[in-house]
Amino acid sequence: MSSLRLAYYELSPELLQGFRLVKQGLEKSVLGLPLIELIYLRVSQINGCSFCLNMHTKALREREESDRRLAELAGWRVSAQFSEREKAALEWAEALTYVVESHADDAAYLPLKAHFSDQEISDLTFAIALMNGMNRLAVGMRQ
């Protein structure tokens, strides 16, 4: 394991506070914490953030998420363990995480409309953006 490059949380506490405020807002979202944590975990899997993988796996286990769903999350497309609603959210999470390739196209966005309100789609997009930002801080600074 590499050592911490910079203690960004000490060097830029006011900036990190903005991320914390988004996280606190999402904790009140009608999406619900189980779905938000699932999204956080999938984004962290894609980005290879071991710190976040550990944190969000632990959070999901504390919410009594099954080991099978945790094990099959990376293969959600072919798993029967996830609802159509969850699959739409996971597709959007991957599209935004891989935005350079996906361009967040309509094929990833439009299925959301069948399962989520506009506010929920907005909250989901904030959750995905937040986790991508946090992953980049943690991976970049070797947390």
Reported as a single tens digit per residue, the pLDDT across 18-28 is 999 999 999 99
Angle between helices 33-47 and 13-27 (to 10 degrees): 130
Residue pair 133/26 in contact by the 8 Å Cβ criterion: no
Dist CA 101 CA 20 (whole Å): 28
What are the structure tokens assigned to 89, written together?
A: 């959210």
Can you give the pTM of this predicted structure?
Answer: 0.95
pLDDT at position 1 over 60: no
Dist CA 7 CA 5 (whole Å): 7
